[in-house]
Structure 1
Amino acid sequence: MSEVIMYYAQNSSYVFEQFIRHFLISLYGVLFASIIAIPLGFFVARKRKLSRLTISIANVMQTIPSLAMLAMLMFLIGTGPNTVVFAVFLYAILPILKNTVSGINSVTPELVDAAMGMGMTRIQLMTKVELPLAISIIMGGIRNALVLAIGVTAVGTFIGAGGLGDIITRGITVANGSPIIIAGAIPTALMAVLADFILGIIENKLTPRTFTKV
C-alpha cells in the first residue's frame, strides 16, 4: 500500500487529469444517451409493439462486448475519446430507455384519463403527471448507465482515449506493476461509487415526497 501512496504522491497531477478525463467521457456519453432515450421512451411507452422493438434493438447493442464495440467504432470513426463517448452512448441507451418505458407505464391509465379529462395537453400530461411520477425509475436507469459507462471508459485506453485505464494498462506492461494497477483501479471504483451515491441523492430530491423511499 505504501507503494501506491508513493505513486499518488509522485503522479498526483497526472492521476487527477486522467480522473477528470475519465469522468467527462463517461458523463458525456450518458448525457447524450439521456437526451435521446428519455424522449424516445416517452414516445414508445404506450405503444407496446414499438417499445418492444426499440428495447430489443438497444438490447442487441448491449450484448456486444466492449472491446468488440470499440474495435468496430474505431474502424468507422477513428480512435480517441470521441469514439469512446459514442460507445458509452450506445451502451447507456438500454438502461435509460427501458427504465423510462417502465416508469411511464407505471403511471396508471386512470390517472392519465383523469388528467386528460381536466383539459391537460399532451405536453402538460408529460411534464406535470408522467415525468414527476416516473422520475425515480428513470433516474435509476441513468444511475445504472453511468456506472456501466465508467467501466466501458476504462477499456477505452486501448484506442487512445486516455482516462484511468491508462494507469491500469501501464501497470500491466511494466515489471512489478501491481501498485500502479491498484493506483488506477482505486479511483475508478471510487468514481463509480460516488457517481451512484450522488445520483441517488438527486433522485431522492426529484422524487415527490409521497413516493420517496423510506
Structure 2
Amino acid sequence: MGALRARTVLLSGSNRGIGLGLVKQLLAAPKPPLWIFASCRDPEGPRAQELRDLASKHPNLVLLKLDVANPVSVTEAARIVERKMNGSGLNLLINNAAIYTPTASLAVVDAEDMMRTYETNTVGPMLMAQAFLPLLKKAAQESTEKGLSCSKAAIINISSVMGSIERTPATFLKPVISYRCSKADLTVETSVQGLLSVLPILSEKHNGTLLNWEGKAIPW
C-alpha cells in the first residue's frame, strides 16, 4: 500500500478501538509522522492506560485532553497544538471520536441520548474542523504538492456503513438509532490497515464521498 506522508496528524477518540489502532500503526510505520496528537476525553483515566504507555515510549506522540462536543475544550486543544507546532501547520485531522449506544432502538431511544450522540458524532467534527482550519491551511500553504491530499492538508471524518440510508435494510441487525442517524464489522486491525491504505490515495475527487475501508464508495 502507499505510504502516508503526513508529517503531523491529530486524531480524536484515540484511547480505544480504531483511534488507538491508528495511533499504533502510525507509530510503527517505517517513516512515522513527526508529531501525532492523540486526543481523548480523559487521557489520565484508566481507559487511556495503553495510550499513556505508548506515549512513554514514543516522544513524537502527544496526548491531548479533548471533548469534541465541548467548544471550550476544542479551542484549548487547538491552542496547545498550535504552540507545539511552533509556526508549522497541521497536515491531517482525523475525526474519529464517536458515541455508540447498541441498545438505542427506536422503541427505547430518548431525546437525551439522541442529543448527546449528535453533539459528539455530528457537531463535534464541525467544531474540530473550525478550530484546526487555520493550522490545516498553514500546512497547505507550506506544501509544494499539487492538489489536495492527506500528506498536504485534509480532514477525514471516520463514519460507518450504518450511516448509509440506502443500506439501512442490510445493516439493521442492530438498530442503534442515534448512532445510525448521526453517521447518516471488521476487526480493528483490519479496519485500520484498510484506512491507512486508503488515506494516501485520496484527492479532490473524493471530497464529500462516503468510502469504506477498502476505498470503495458507499451510497448515501
Task: Please state which band the TM-score falls in when normalised by the shorter chain.
Answer: under 0.3
TM-score normalised over the length of structure 2: 0.26
More helix by share: 1
Considering Cα pairs closer than 8 Å and 6+ residues apart, tell me whether 1 or 2 has the greater RCO.
Answer: 1
User: Of the two, which has the highest radius of gyration?
Assistant: 1
More strand by share: 2
TM-score normalised over the length of structure 1: 0.26
